[in-house]
Structure 1
């Protein structure tokens, strides 16, 4: 009875993010979760699910960690909130900024805090435009993103996103954004050629920054060619353009490195982060800037920096993040992500060998994807009417596995990002359930 009451209250009062309002009103919420433990979630009816997406790519250390609850409790009892405006400060934010600087690559040593990924990317865009303005080049405003990139749903971050569906809801919210081709399946040379063409067409003297994810997450877990990011760096250096690396998904161990860009020996000018910094236990994000940018800000800024959020540097969020990073390091979860990611990819490769509808498979650490096609050898897609991707997701859900579908250019992509604490046995269960599910759907389609 209580569950039915909650269903009705949900339909009446809760507008869900990135959801079908019509479907919610017809059916109510798909599931009402009750609790989490490790890599598992349990709903109100007692059904257990393997959270193979870390919810939204973010529960890196797993569900139900009492250490983070205790860190929050202790900080709330001591200092629940204090503003960081007007140079007010407090110890948790100072310590967290120092810690992030210590683990970030190269000379990225100063941190601006936000409440999440969209705010982080929004802030990075404003900071690079401010950087050029105080350097006497206010015409450098344009941001180049990549097609299939996802950077958030605030005004500028929506415009930086390269997935058209996110523009269609309310249109482009801000100006001076454009997109180059993703290198995925295009290759490094075509990707760099598209980026160079975009720079020269828009005018290098008007470009503030290139913005890219080390791995394009919501676009379908798109992994760049080995040399692509280094060539992006060289190209941007050639034209004097800054680089923003969006590490919102890839940061804090997800790819088997503390930051995803470390897989390619690539150093940007700014890093944006969120999600895994607190493993989703409390909202927090931020921007890490290079010493060069920080020095320019210190030397040339006049008066107040008119940008900040009420919860920038929230003391409780900072305390939780510090404990979260401590656990990632103490439990060697970055290395576990690397090892278990290799196990997961090996399982995906066996699927590719054994199932006709499995095309490209890929993973870096515990961030991976499996592509499904009518005939991968002939690059033949399924008809959208068949709903193959959603059918796989629904069948996995019925088998107690939560993951995420993406459909792009006719290809159905199943995405995976399990918590970094996942074990070898649990990876094997995940792959076995996936194999069995895809095989049954393949047989049903009579491929």
Structure 2
């Protein structure tokens, strides 16, 4: 029997759901599903690793929403930092050499955290803009050097770099490139050095501006790189005079158990793209970080204006939130917790694999992990319909929000919880995955 309070909450959900269907154009959502079903959740509150919707249901945010709420939900310190900055200076443009205190402090902070000689940041509102900025910058750089044919960007199959025109064009998942009028001069290659060398030889190194890669592919299936991959990439790019862009949008600021994903592979790119974790999703902010060498060459070669900039490049409030977020990550030793809880997750995944013979692979690094499903591991045969979709749906019934990745014929469960997760909560997540898989597999028998 429902209580009066439950009836009131359900009524509130129904009213909001109707308004949602009528007025809100959802990103990355099926139009028909939105209109037929309405929102699965209308979240109203978050605390730590938990989210609560307007009907009072609480779920574990097993993906940090979109791989980005790194310090967890409900940290009042970030709200205070935003309020303080807005009261002092809500906005000022950073065009034409104008600046402000917070953007200077944040640029310095990123330079101190970044690997190697990466020390100058162009700020954006998010990862897609940051990737587009990197692509435009490398092409501009080669143009300044008189090598105007060097404009092709090579990217990896199963990669994800965003949904703006350039970032969509760079994404190695065909589903995201189904939109018309993509940007030209993007090439796609499998994740082997041999394939990359072959492509460079076919296209001609004098036509290639840059190679871009995530340290660990996220939306493409949580795929760590092959052994010594990035050291070989670095050497190959140097040999052929190609710039190397590392897309650290998901992996940056601690997700892999190191400050940046590339730290795991002892490789320094020419350009690093950042977003998501720099504010833990509390404010929209991204950026392109360039090397000292590239910075000096751009200064030397440029006479005119760098004709690229966003209204909110270096937004004061967003920068203030980022600074507070990075302070919390350092002061509370959250990257150390990522390492420890990442180990616990991998132990849990191995336990699941021992119990469920349909699990063909478990992989991950830090708090970025995946479980792959196959009907028959020996023949590498998939189920007729992706099992991961059903497991994620069942997991919601037990209070866990995760992600199913089925691009390019995959059948993968992906998880990336907030850095503040503890051992007991990890065990709860593993237990829910176990229950959900058991239920779904029994239904398939």
Please indicate, yes or no, whether the TM-score normalized by the shorter chain is above 0.5.
Answer: yes
Is contact 1:60–1:279 with CA below 8 Å preserved after alignment?
yes
- Measured after TM superposition, the shift of residue 299 of structure 1 is 1.0
Deviations 1:379-427 (A, max 9, x none): 111113xx41211110001111001111144331000000011001100
Deviations 1:119-140 (A, max 9, x none): 0000000111111111111111
Query: How far apart, CA to CA, are the structure 2 residues paired with 1:68 and 1:411?
Result: 37
Q: Does 1:173 align with 2:182?
A: yes
Partner of 1:348: 349
- Measured after TM superposition, the shift of residue 172 of structure 1 is 4.9
Where 1:42 maps in the other structure, the secondary structure is strand
Equivalent pairs counted in the alignment come to 435
Partner of 1:186: none
Partner of 1:432: 431
Is contact 2:223–2:364 with CA below 8 Å preserved after alignment?
no
Query: How far apart, CA to CA, are the structure 2 residues paired with 1:40 and 1:71?
Result: 22
Matches within 5 A, 1:356-435: 356-384=357-385, 387-435=386-434
Query: How far apart, CA to CA, are the structure 1 residues paired with 2:377 and 2:426?
Result: 25
Partner of 2:332: 331
Q: TM-score, normalised by structure 1?
A: 0.96
Q: Does 1:93 align with 2:92?
A: no
Is contact 2:12–2:54 with CA below 8 Å preserved after alignment?
no
Query: How far apart, CA to CA, are the structure 1 residues paired with 2:370 and 2:256?
Result: 13
Matches within 5 A, 1:38-187: 38-168=48-178, 170-182=179-191
- Measured after TM superposition, the shift of residue 378 of structure 1 is 2.2
Matches within 5 A, 1:181-260: 181-182=190-191, 191-260=192-261
Q: Which of the residues 3, 7, 11 maps onto 2:13?
A: 3
Query: How far apart, CA to CA, are the structure 2 residues paired with 1:405 and 1:297?
Result: 42
Q: Does 1:442 align with 2:441?
A: yes
Deviations 1:92-127 (A, max 9, x none): 000000000000000000000000000000000011
Q: Does 1:280 align with 2:281?
A: yes
Query: How far apart, CA to CA, are the structure 2 residues paired with 1:293 and 1:410?
Result: 39
Q: Does 1:15 align with 2:25?
A: yes
Where 2:188 maps in the other structure, the secondary structure is strand
Query: How far apart, CA to CA, are the structure 2 residues paired with 1:363 and 1:335?
Result: 16
- Measured after TM superposition, the shift of residue 167 of structure 1 is 1.0
Query: How far apart, CA to CA, are the structure 2 residues paired with 1:82 and 1:176?
Result: 36
Where 1:143 maps in the other structure, the secondary structure is strand
Where 2:406 maps in the other structure, the secondary structure is strand
Is contact 2:367–2:416 with CA below 8 Å preserved after alignment?
yes
Query: How far apart, CA to CA, are the structure 1 residues paired with 2:229 and 2:161?
Result: 19
Where 1:377 maps in the other structure, the secondary structure is coil
- Measured after TM superposition, the shift of residue 31 of structure 1 is 1.1
Structure 2 gap segments, 5+ residues each: 1-10
Is contact 1:357–1:442 with CA below 8 Å preserved after alignment?
no
CA RMSD in angstroms, aligned pairs only = 0.9
Where 1:84 maps in the other structure, the secondary structure is coil
Q: Does 1:315 align with 2:316?
A: yes
Partner of 2:6: none
Deviations 1:209-251 (A, max 9, x none): 0000000100010111231111111111110111000000000
Where 2:246 maps in the other structure, the secondary structure is strand
Partner of 1:188: none
Query: How far apart, CA to CA, are the structure 2 residues paired with 1:445 and 1:4?
Result: 33
Query: How far apart, CA to CA, are the structure 1 residues paired with 2:409 and 2:214?
Result: 23
Where 1:382 maps in the other structure, the secondary structure is coil
